[in-house]
Amino acid sequence: MRRPRLSLREQPLPGGQPLAFAIGLLIALIVGTLLLLGAGHEPLKIYSRMFEASLGDPDAWAVTINRAIPLGLAGLAVAVAGSMGLWNIGAEGQIMAGAIAAAWVARIGDDWPSVVLITMMLIAALGGGGVLAIGPALARAKLGVNEIITTLMLNEVAIRLVQWLIHGPWKDPDSYNFPLAPMLPDQARLPTVFSRAHFGLFIAAAVIIMASVAVRYTAWGYELRIAGSSEATARYSGISLSKKILTVLVLSGAIAGLAGGVELTGTADRLTETLSNGFGFAGIIVAALALMRPSGVAVVALLFGAVQIGGQSIQTLGVSSSVSTILQAFVLFGAIGAGVFSRYRVLLDGESQSASKEVKQ
């Protein structure tokens, strides 16, 4: 029996990742159509509703942008670590750690001027996320412990810490015995840009641009890519792998923490145990679709924000919001599959392709 194998193409197919992303979106829409038809719904009506709710007018754009901001920052956090071949699976917990730190600043500075208070809250959020990443970073750099396990485990720690705070020392005395943190002071709110879209849009854009430039055009970013591609080459070049691991993972955690601070000051009105809202895990998908390139996370985050907001809107039509989760999954699977076949071709045993490298499936 002739078995298939993958063979590297001499030249990738034209279109690259944007084409793969478009194919992934098309596959997701086709699968979603079949699911909706099977459930007795009208796909065109459902998709129209999703579009109108997420991109149909300025108000819809504002809601989508607010959703895309934490998704973009979480995706950037994962992508920065991924630039060195590391996986930060703890963005969910780091978002919560950043929100905790920002909420603490709001508690002690409730009479500070707005600009000072918000600035200090966001700086604290950076620190909170970075602190949560220090343990996994040290374990990976000094002991070789897999960062996937350690960052993932700390997600639960951060969430449990929030639960303890809002049930205990930070419980609002005016909450009628409900486990709620106090409301943020009025001056702790980010100003709006248009409609309900808040200033976090510019904060996220600035951070994404700076990270993209740093990874792609600086000596630090070059060393990062070298260390990620070959540890032996990095050591031969005099690059300290332990320092790079520490720097990258702590920076990744800080960016995720910033997402928590921006979400707290921009959209939420108090610290809650659901503030992270799955942004950290969705950020992994965003980073994967952006090929771990910081420059690509903004567009992917905007699309995913639109899909999530649209998915929430169709509940009024009797459709489960899980449809949006399914669409996100198939965008990922379709894009990854299209990306693989743009670089590889399928051959059967006995076939050959000159001047190509073969990779067994």
Band of residue 191 on the pLDDT scale cut at 50, 70, 90: very high
- The Cα–Cα gap between 47 and 322 comes to 14
SS3 of residue 359 by DSSP = strand
Q: Look up residue 302 and give its two tokens.
A: 């905007």
At 278-297, the pLDDT tens digits run 999 999 989 988 888 888 89
According to the CATH classification, is domain 47-318 in 1.10.3470? Answer: yes
Most confident of 25-29, 92-96, 140-144: 92-96
Bridge partner list, 346: 6
Asked whether the beta carbons of 35 and 326 are under 8 A apart, the reply is: yes
At 324, the amino acid letter reads S
Q: What is the pLDDT averaged over residues 80-93? A: 93
At 231-258, the pLDDT tens digits run 888 888 888 889 999 999 999 999 999 9
* 355, pLDDT greater than 60: no
pLDDT at 15: 64
pLDDT at 352: 54
Nearest CA-CA partner of 94 in 135, 66, 58, 41: 135
Question: Cα–chain-centroid distance for residue 333?
Answer: 17
- The Cα–Cα gap between 350 and 3 comes to 9
Q: What are phi and psi of 26, to 5 degrees?
A: -60, -45
* 156, pLDDT greater than 90: yes
pLDDT at 357: 47
- The chain-wide mean pLDDT, for the chain, equals 88
DSSP line for 160-207? HHHHHHHHTTT--TTSTT---PPPPPGGGSPPEEETTEETHHHHHHHH
* Contacts (Cβ under 8 Å, ≥6 apart) of 330: 24, 27, 28, 31, 32
Q: What are phi and psi of 347, to 5 degrees?
A: -125, 150
- The Cα–Cα gap between 331 and 95 comes to 24
What ranges in the chain are assigned the alpha helix state H?
16-38, 43-55, 58-82, 91-108, 114-138, 147-167, 200-217, 219-229, 231-236, 241-266, 279-289, 297-313, 322-343
Residue ranges per domain, the chain? 47-318
pLDDT at 360: 44
Q: Which of 86-95, 175-184, 347-356 bottoms out in mean pLDDT, i.e. has the lowest? A: 347-356
